[in-house]
């Protein structure tokens, strides 16, 4: 049921806003997924926004890689925009805020600001910008600019009232704006920082819910005042606990590991979705082959504030469970030629990834590496060969052959089944021979038994 505090179902609009300066990693993916799940649960829209204002580091290749990763995962956006196409919009809103006195120029160098912070910390004070630029006269500003000093621009926070909102994950949040620095929104070279363009875009795109990591909580406090200054109703916010690895901190390797690495290792997209949809919540992680039950149950009220633990071993085990449920139609295009549904169903319980099916299919089609035959098993396998040559190879061939062998040899259990499996497959374990032997077929089975006797 939708909470009364939420907007009507049809009005939910979320966005995923990556910077195309690198590959998507698992933390990015979790943010994208939760935005997608929330929009889908409410019949809303999920938008992709490329935050590509960093012209030096943003590339078309990274942007295309992000789109490809989302497509592989089935997280198809309902629309896409690029910040680099929206500079005129930012300029117009920037001018409005300058005229309203909410943006002001500052002339300190990075070194001067760093010294100020160190002095404040040394005095036991919070390292908050002292607003010295607001005390400059017009003549002083003109003199600085005449000397070639270009200003950066800050948003002037309103100190008259506390900033507060009800976070969908963290509950009631309160910030004293006097304890926050006026954020820099534009650099001296004219380039944009994240804060203001993001607010302008969220307004123009009709975003109703911003879902992101808890490291953005203080950003939200300042951005709420930007929404108000621009005359807009702010969206709802959900700040989720950050991911950690099995060692308690998300490793640099995992934090930089591209989604393509999971794809290349045989992880199914639904496995990543199933794990990332539930870790950090009170809901159990479940092996599903379709995202529908995850969409239906997704709720920010189920998220805790403790770090969400991402374990690659848990992902691998979940992936194995999911592979064991996949229908033939879902994997047919990835199976080796000639492998039909009966073969998939026989092999499926013995693999961890779909690609491993090819290894067992080679066991079916051959040739197989012969396993040395113990001396005491040669007569037994000769008996098996004679019986096999008299049998019709149908779906019951394994049962018929082993029943006859048991009667002839007196063997049972491991002594009966293991030498036969080794001779027919080259392995001590594997798919159920009831299903595998009909796939191997009469000709190959007889050939392998003869080779085992000779060996």
Look at residue 343 in the predicted model and tell me its pLDDT: 96
Residues 374 and 335 placed together within one structural domain of the fold: no
Look at residue 245 in the predicted model and tell me its pLDDT: 79
406 has binding-site annotation? no
| Domain assignment of residue 385, yes or no | yes
Look at residue 275 in the predicted model and tell me its pLDDT: 97
| Domain assignment of residue 392, yes or no | yes
| Domain assignment of residue 303, yes or no | no
DSSP 181: P
| Domain assignment of residue 75, yes or no | no
Single out the residue of 423, 42, 12, 28 nearest to residue 260, CA to CA: 28
Q: Which domain holds residue 346?
A: 328-364
Look at residue 244 in the predicted model and tell me its pLDDT: 85
Residue after which a domain boundary falls, among 364, 389, 411 = 364
Single out the residue of 294, 269, 268 nearest to residue 281, CA to CA: 294
Look at residue 6 in the predicted model and tell me its pLDDT: 43
Total of domains in the chain: 2
Single out the residue of 179, 185, 174 nearest to residue 127, CA to CA: 179
Q: Tell me the CA distances in angstroms from 212 to 14, 27, 54, 167, 440, one per residue in order.
A: 11, 10, 20, 11, 53
Residues 345 and 385 placed together within one structural domain of the fold: no
Residues 426 and 380 placed together within one structural domain of the fold: yes
Residues 345 and 397 placed together within one structural domain of the fold: no
Half-sphere exposure of 414 (CA within 13 A, CB side): 2
Q: Is the dihedral of CA 173, 179, 185, 189 positive or negative?
A: negative
Instruction: Characterize the bridge pairing of strands 171-175 and 163-167.
Output: antiparallel
Beta bridge partners of 152: 106
3-state secondary structure labels for all residues of 120-164: HHHCCCCCCCCCHHHHCCHHHHHHHHHCCCCCEEEECCCCCCCEE
Residues 355 and 389 placed together within one structural domain of the fold: no
Residues 377 and 359 placed together within one structural domain of the fold: no
Look at residue 249 in the predicted model and tell me its pLDDT: 64
Residues 383 and 420 placed together within one structural domain of the fold: yes
Backbone angles phi, psi at 236, to 5 degrees: -80, 150
Residues 348 and 409 placed together within one structural domain of the fold: no
| Domain assignment of residue 24, yes or no | no
| Domain assignment of residue 389, yes or no | yes
Residues 358 and 386 placed together within one structural domain of the fold: no
| Domain assignment of residue 405, yes or no | yes
Q: How far is CA 405 from the centre of its chain?
A: 52
DSSP 433: H
Residues of the chain with pLDDT under 70: 1-10, 246-256
CATH classification at residue 446: 1.10.10.350
Look at residue 1 in the predicted model and tell me its pLDDT: 35
* Token couple for 449: 């038994």
Q: How far is it, in rounded angstroms, from Cα 184 to Cα 156?
A: 9
| Domain assignment of residue 213, yes or no | no
Residues 427 and 438 placed together within one structural domain of the fold: yes
Radius of gyration of the chain (CA): 32
Residues 359 and 375 placed together within one structural domain of the fold: no
Residues 370 and 450 placed together within one structural domain of the fold: yes
């Amino acid at each position: 049921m939708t909470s009364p505090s939420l907007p009507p179902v049809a009005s939910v609009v979320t966005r995923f806003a990556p910077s195309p300066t690198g590959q998507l990693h698992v933390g990015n993916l979790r943010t994208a997924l939760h935005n997608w799940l929330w929009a889908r649960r409410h019949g809303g829209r999920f938008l992709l926004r490329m935050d590509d204002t960093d012209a030096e580091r943003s590339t078309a290749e990274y942007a295309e890689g992000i789109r490809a990763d989302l497509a592989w995962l089935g997280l198809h956006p309902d629309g896409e925009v690029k910040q680099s196409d929206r500079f005129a919009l930012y300029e117009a809103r920037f001018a409005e805020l300058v005229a309203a006195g909410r943006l002001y120029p500052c002339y300190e160098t990075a070194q001067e600001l760093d010294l100020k912070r160190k002095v404040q910390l040394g005095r036991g004070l919070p390292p908050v910008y002292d607003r010295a630029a607001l005390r400059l006269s017009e003549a002083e500003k003109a003199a600085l600019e005449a000397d070639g000093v270009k200003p950066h621009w800050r948003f002037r926070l309103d100190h008259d009232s506390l900033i507060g909102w009800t976070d969908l994950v963290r509950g009631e949040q309160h910030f004293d704006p006097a304890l926050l620095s006026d954020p820099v929104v534009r650099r001296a070279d004219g380039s944009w920082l994240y804060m203001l363009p993001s607010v302008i875009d969220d307004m123009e795109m009709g975003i109703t819910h911003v879902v992101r990591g808890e490291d953005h909580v203080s950003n939200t406090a300042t951005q709420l005042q930007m929404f108000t200054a621009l005359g807009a109703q702010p969206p709802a916010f959900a700040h989720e606990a950050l991911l950690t690895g099995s060692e308690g901190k998300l490793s640099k390797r995992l934090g930089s590991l591209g989604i393509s690495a999971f794809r290349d290792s045989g992880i199914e997209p639904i496995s990543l979705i199933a794990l990332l949809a539930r870790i950090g919540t009170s809901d159990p992680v479940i092996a599903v082959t379709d995202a529908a039950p995850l969409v239906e149950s997704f709720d920010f009220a189920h998220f805790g504030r403790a770090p969400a633990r991402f374990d690659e071993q848990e992902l691998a085990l979940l992936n194995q469970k999911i592979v064991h449920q996949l229908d033939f139609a879902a994997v047919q295009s990835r199976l080796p030629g000639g492998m039909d549904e009966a073969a998939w169903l026989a092999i499926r319980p013995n693999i961890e990834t779909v690609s491993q099916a090819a290894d067992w299919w080679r066991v079916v089609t051959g040739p197989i590496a012969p396993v040395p035959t113990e001396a005491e098993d040669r007569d037994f396998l000769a008996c098996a060969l004679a019986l096999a040559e008299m049998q019709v190879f149908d779906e019951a061939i394994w049962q018929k052959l082993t029943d006859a062998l048991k009667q002839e040899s007196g063997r049972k259990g491991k002594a009966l089944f293991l030498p036969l499996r080794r001779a027919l497959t080259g392995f001590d374990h594997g798919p159920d021979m009831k299903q595998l032997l009909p796939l191997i077929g009469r000709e190959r089975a007889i050939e392998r038994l003869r080779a085992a006797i000779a060996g």
